[in-house]
Amino acid sequence: MSPERPYELAHLGHIELFTPKPDESLHFFVNVLGLTESGREGDSVYLRGWDDYEFHTLKLTAAKQSGLGHLAFRANSPEALERRAKKLESMGRGIGWVDGDMGHGKAYRATDPDGHIFEIYYETRWYEAPPELKPALKNQAMRFPARGCNARRLDHLNLLVLDVAATREFLTDGLHMRNTERIMLDDGTEAGSWMTTTNKTYDIAFTLDHTGVAGRFHHVTYALDSREDILRAADVFLENGVFIETGPHKHAVQQTFFLYVWEPGGNRVELANAGARLMLAPDWKPIIWTQAERAKGQAWGLKTVESFHTHGTPPVA
Amino acid sequence: MSPERPYELAHLGHIELFTPKPDESLHFFVNVLGLTESGREGDSVYLRGWDDYEFHTLKLTAAKQSGLGHLAFRANSPEALERRAKKLESMGRGIGWVDGDMGHGKAYRATDPDGHIFEIYYETRWYEAPPELKPALKNQAMRFPARGCNARRLDHLNLLVLDVAATREFLTDGLHMRNTERIMLDDGTEAGSWMTTTNKTYDIAFTLDHTGVAGRFHHVTYALDSREDILRAADVFLENGVFIETGPHKHAVQQTFFLYVWEPGGNRVELANAGARLMLAPDWKPIIWTQAERAKGQAWGLKTVESFHTHGTPPVA
Amino acid sequence: MSPERPYELAHLGHIELFTPKPDESLHFFVNVLGLTESGREGDSVYLRGWDDYEFHTLKLTAAKQSGLGHLAFRANSPEALERRAKKLESMGRGIGWVDGDMGHGKAYRATDPDGHIFEIYYETRWYEAPPELKPALKNQAMRFPARGCNARRLDHLNLLVLDVAATREFLTDGLHMRNTERIMLDDGTEAGSWMTTTNKTYDIAFTLDHTGVAGRFHHVTYALDSREDILRAADVFLENGVFIETGPHKHAVQQTFFLYVWEPGGNRVELANAGARLMLAPDWKPIIWTQAERAKGQAWGLKTVESFHTHGTPPVA
Amino acid sequence: MSPERPYELAHLGHIELFTPKPDESLHFFVNVLGLTESGREGDSVYLRGWDDYEFHTLKLTAAKQSGLGHLAFRANSPEALERRAKKLESMGRGIGWVDGDMGHGKAYRATDPDGHIFEIYYETRWYEAPPELKPALKNQAMRFPARGCNARRLDHLNLLVLDVAATREFLTDGLHMRNTERIMLDDGTEAGSWMTTTNKTYDIAFTLDHTGVAGRFHHVTYALDSREDILRAADVFLENGVFIETGPHKHAVQQTFFLYVWEPGGNRVELANAGARLMLAPDWKPIIWTQAERAKGQAWGLKTVESFHTHGTPPVA
């Protein structure tokens, strides 16, 4: 970030996930992951973590297939929203304005090169806890649920894309994000990139989809307070028969402590903890990981599971 | 933050602490707190946590009395530095430009209403680890030391001031910081305020000095990765005969998990963990704590120790 | 322990607590502490932690006053039970045999010098989880509940007594327990003692009751897996309006990480974690803490709260 | 355990490890694992964790090949030692009496069916910390080192054996240990067994050596206080270039949270945490794991690494 070119987006706001098993998925997100329902409308249920300040961070929508409905970033101001809309339109990426839904006001929609739908909005609905969910401390959105994994707040999402470099450039130019880390294969292909619009070291990431199918979704991540919370979540997933794909372990890239599972609808969900790691330098230079470095696996030597490179939603026929 | 008035400062850069017991203080910061020396010059030793990306975050200087030498924020860009210098000068708070020291380039100095010296700089010296301190993962400044409390990175500092509201206004107008929480006594006096220039919920705080002596220092804080790390640090302090003033416990204000000790020179030092708590909303409204709410003590009921309201450095005769 | 005089008791089995607020107390133990009900009969509800192998470790009984109904240790064998019964009878402490209740078979009852009722039994009812509570791993009694504080297993209890030394001698001679730590005041009074019949460093403790009223109860303790679990439990208590008396902090005596609350019926309940601490030496010599050492407070300097010396159940008029 | 047949051994006392790289191994155990040297004699260095009450728990001996020198259990009394010596002799397993070494008095030596050397002793040398290593709390053997992984105390060891059932019977009959869990293959072969002589769920384990070479060593384990400590240890191993074989993860068998590395001499070392898990029941029935159950991998799905079944010391030509 440079004040000469400040961030225009405040943070990842929410994502919409499609599920072909809406009842099972809802049970997973509420009773296992520990999210709380704040509303429902049509085929969608609105959900949030106990520290999410907005009405929702997850819109769960019944659909024929799993996958991402859309993702949304909140702009820093009404003016920033207007500027981004104009820029996205000028880049030929614009879809147009929508009225918003239960959780926020008007939003501008655009697509990344893969066709994933990005939504930018400013006007939002702050969550108001009903009496039985009022927190003991007034600087907290909702009381701690003490249920399931107690997912705290939305952290980031990860897309599968056909062209990582093009996606990175779209986010840099169109949305003023910054690249913090990336993977470069020996043949010059960019295999993955991590972007931020905050002091977190990433708010969105995207990795190469080897299937050749555009617009797929890799995972969404909720943050927990400690690595111990992640380990306990693994116990909770185990007890509930949730498929644990990989982890808990520590990523070499970004050093995040991770745990990946598949919710009943097929979408991959991550719980993560970053410790006290932040990106504070305004002139951070992206870390470039080579193919050889990536071949070493995760931080403590765990090999990346094969499905991590192939499983995305919707599934490929 | 509004993009119409974006943050101009990237983060707290470092502080200079005076100590009348330089050898004992250095032993404390290196062997007990776990900082690493990166240089020394004149009466000063330059120190940093293993995740601090700059040359130093603590300048420890031998002096007749304890207390704060100066504090420094890094600007977001050279232009932001120039703008802040002009603004501070126009407010009548400016001292002028200095050349910088071992850790950074030219800096503009100014005073807050209490006379504490603020320094703003942009050009900095990135830390380069010597071979024996190279980390295993290239996205980390230095290898994990596995020594003492393993302080990770500078987090924030806390000043004692004679006029909390005036200090808050100075930081808001002069430095574009935002107020996230504050304490208002029944008589209308503002007793404490917490300000941010990042997604952390505070980078600097200041509380009322009841002694009537201006310009004193309350504490500096280094971040650890987990609450368990804070508990282990308490063991380390105990084994090393360091005076533990209060904690470990959880603050109600800001919900930080804290541990306060006094280093041999008399300055208060905090180790803290915020879990996954961040301030992401661009339109966050300050939380106002009343006198009655504060009287309840810390989050889980611990009463605030009396010395927390009286002990500052330099000591009052 | 000496094989020439081996332990006769296997472990603390359960305690019966009286509560004048049975509904509120039951809500506390199930929904806040995280115990699970395994049966009810008459005015009593039988409860247990998810790792307790027996039918119950807490019998919660409606009564006019709070306090301890009885406490029970499981013997190592039928023969050990017979030997203890004879010994207690010979000491003039015996009450006689009872049939047992929903959780176990015949038991011998006796009193300590204060009149607290001790029960010794061997035949027990192993807990059998209903289908919905079957654990994923077969070496675990019940599935992890992911509810409230998730109390794991009964750990120990603490009595208030009028004569600490006499109680210690009763447990040593009558029940073959070993003393691991004790507090000796300057005037020669023994103020507290900790006894074990396992490799845990204590299974029962007792401290001086300054009120002069015999037979009161200080607290019962459930174990959690980590200090982080204790901290999270403090959040859960805070959210549920439970009175936190003191902690979380680390005891100097026995080094246990502790958190004390009062359940709605008035009885004190502790959650604790001992880390990997065990007493393995067969010839451990008791640690004697002096009055001056105790005056230093807990391990990290927290002063012992006044109510810790006065609050017991039933309350003293 | 039955008081009619009580445990005769108090706990695992120490093991002797051979290393062909004594300097590198010593550096590993002291600076990386965090053990403290208490003496040296001949080709051996005596080492211990900060909570081990005896003079040593590891005797590190320079040798041509890696592997186990001997393992030693402390008896519960002089009489128990005599009884075990007679029993082992009567079983034809006895080697005879030795004088002991720097750490303990006379000991009786015997072999298990594989030829591993077992030593039983009672007279021991309690560790006396030199002034600079005195702990702040008098109920602790030595001050917390705050160095490397800070290994706390010896926990257990694991042998490779040619006949698991025969080894289990040897420990049951000869040493009065109890079996808590075991693995039975579909063809009736016992593939692994875990035995205890304390309230820990195991003090010694042994698994099938597929190489057909008798007398090999699988690993030795030191306990840490929390799972977070294990994760931090993984960081320390990574920074020090230590080979991490597998973990951190949670075993299904015994539910231990584990981390396995190879020390420079080639011997496998584990750091582990059991949380608050203990075996308190005097009539515990062994958990039998089937071949199908074991094929599921570890608790959260990690597949057992191949080297875990093949790597032992000394290596097989």
Cβ under 8 Å to D: C residues 24-83: 51, 53, 74-77, 79-80
Residue C226: which of D4, D79, D227 has the nearest Cβ? D227
Residue A200: which of B4, B199, B287 has the nearest Cβ? B199
The shortest C-alpha distance from C199 to chain D (Å) reads 6
pLDDT score, position B28:
98
The shortest C-alpha distance from D238 to chain A (Å) reads 7
Handedness of CA B74, B78, B80, B85 (dihedral sign): positive
In a mutagenesis test of the D interface, which of A227, A243, A300 is the best target, namely the one with the most D β-carbons within 10 Å?
A: A300
Tokens 């927290």 sit on residue:
C302
Asked if B146 lies within 8 A of D143 by C-beta distance, the reply is no
Asked if B278 lies within 8 A of A199 by C-beta distance, the reply is yes
Residue A144: which of C144, C236, C241 has the nearest Cβ? C236
pLDDT digits (tens, 9 = 90+) for D98-153: 999 999 999 999 999 999 999 999 999 999 999 999 999 999 999 999 999 999 99
Residue B244: which of C234, C246, C301 has the nearest Cβ? C301
Mean of all residue pLDDT scores within chain A: 97
pLDDT score, position C48:
98
In a mutagenesis test of the D interface, which of A228, A231, A257, A260 is the best target, namely the one with the most D β-carbons within 10 Å?
A: A231
Mean pLDDT of C27-35: 98
A6 touches chain B (CB under 8 A): yes
Residue C22 pLDDT exceeds 60: yes
- Which residues of chain D are within 8 Å of residue A234 when distances are taken between CB atoms? 250, 299-300
What contacts D139, CB < 8 A, 6 or more positions away? C181, C253, C254, C255, C287
pLDDT score, position C100:
93
Query: What's the Rg (C-alpha) of chain C?
Result: 19
Residue A77: which of B4, B7, B137 has the nearest Cβ? B4
What the block records as the tokens of C216 is 């009161």
pLDDT score, position A4:
63
The shortest C-alpha distance from B70 to chain A (Å) reads 20
Cβ under 8 Å to C: B residues 280-299: 299
pLDDT score, position B1:
43
C224 touches chain D (CB under 8 A): yes
pLDDT digits (tens, 9 = 90+) for D228-280: 999 999 999 999 999 999 999 999 999 999 999 999 999 999 999 999 999 99
**CATH, domain range D9-310:** 3.10.180.10
pLDDT digits (tens, 9 = 90+) for C155-185: 999 999 999 999 999 999 999 999 999 999 9
- Which residues of chain D are within 8 Å of residue B135 when distances are taken between CB atoms? 239
More confident residue, D6 or D233: D233
DSSP category for residue A206: E
The shortest C-alpha distance from C246 to chain A (Å) reads 18
DSSP per-residue letters across C39-71: EEETTEEEEE-TT--BS-SEEEEE-SS-EEEEE
Asked if B77 lies within 8 A of A3 by C-beta distance, the reply is yes
d(CA A88, CA A310): 30
Half-sphere exposure for C58 (CA within 13 Å, toward CB):
33
Q: At C5, is the pLDDT very low, low, confident or very high (cuts 50, 70, 90)? A: confident
pLDDT score, position B5:
74
Of the ranges A28-32, B168-172, C35-39, D301-305, which one carries the lowest mean pLDDT score? D301-305
State the CB neighbour count (10 A cutoff) for residue A294. 17
pLDDT score, position A10:
98
Asked if C287 lies within 8 A of D139 by C-beta distance, the reply is yes
State the CB neighbour count (10 A cutoff) for residue C296. 12
The shortest C-alpha distance from A34 to chain C (Å) reads 10
Q: Where are the alpha helices (DSSP H) in chain A?
A: 22-27, 78-90, 164-175, 227-239, 291-295, 307-310
Residue B300: which of C244, C299, C300 has the nearest Cβ? C244
Residue C1 pLDDT exceeds 50: no
Q: How far is CA B233 from CA B33, B154, C226, C283, D137, in A?
A: 8, 16, 16, 32, 15
The shortest C-alpha distance from C244 to chain B (Å) reads 7
- Which residues of chain A are within 8 Å of residue B153 when distances are taken between CB atoms? 276, 278
d(CA A282, CA D247): 36
Q: How far is CA C236 from CA B238, B291, C147, C150, C266, in A?
A: 29, 25, 10, 10, 18
Q: Are A3 and B77 in contact (CB under 8 A)?
A: yes
- Which residues of chain D are within 8 Å of residue C282 when distances are taken between CB atoms? 10, 74-77
pLDDT score, position B4:
62
| Short-list B51, B284, B217, B227, CA closest to B150 | B51
Residue D84 pLDDT exceeds 90: yes
Q: At C4, is the pLDDT very low, low, confident or very high (cuts 50, 70, 90)? A: low
DSSP category for residue A255: G
d(CA C295, CA C303): 8
Asked if B248 lies within 8 A of C244 by C-beta distance, the reply is no
Residue A3 pLDDT exceeds 80: no
Interface contacts C/D by beta carbons within 8 Å: 131
D22 touches chain B (CB under 8 A): no
Q: At C3, is the pLDDT very low, low, confident or very high (cuts 50, 70, 90)? A: very low
In a mutagenesis test of the D interface, which of B51, B232, B236, B271 is the best target, namely the one with the most D β-carbons within 10 Å?
A: B232
d(CA C30, CA C52): 14
Which of the residues in chain B have pLDDT under 70?
Answer: 1-4
What the block records as the tokens of D156 is 């257990």
Q: Which residues pair with A208 in a beta bridge?
A: A161
Asked if C275 lies within 8 A of D152 by C-beta distance, the reply is yes
Tokens 């159950």 sit on residue:
D293
pLDDT digits (tens, 9 = 90+) for C124-167: 999 999 999 999 999 999 999 999 999 999 999 999 999 999 99
- Which residues of chain B are within 8 Å of residue C226 when distances are taken between CB atoms? 228
Mean of all residue pLDDT scores within chain C: 97
Q: At D4, is the pLDDT very low, low, confident or very high (cuts 50, 70, 90)? A: low
Q: Are C193 and C182 in contact (CB under 8 A)?
A: yes
Number of H helices, E strands in chain B: 6, 17
Mean pLDDT of A265-283: 98
Nearest CA in chain B to A80: B3
Residue D3 pLDDT exceeds 90: no
| Short-list D165, D156, D256, CA closest to D205 | D156
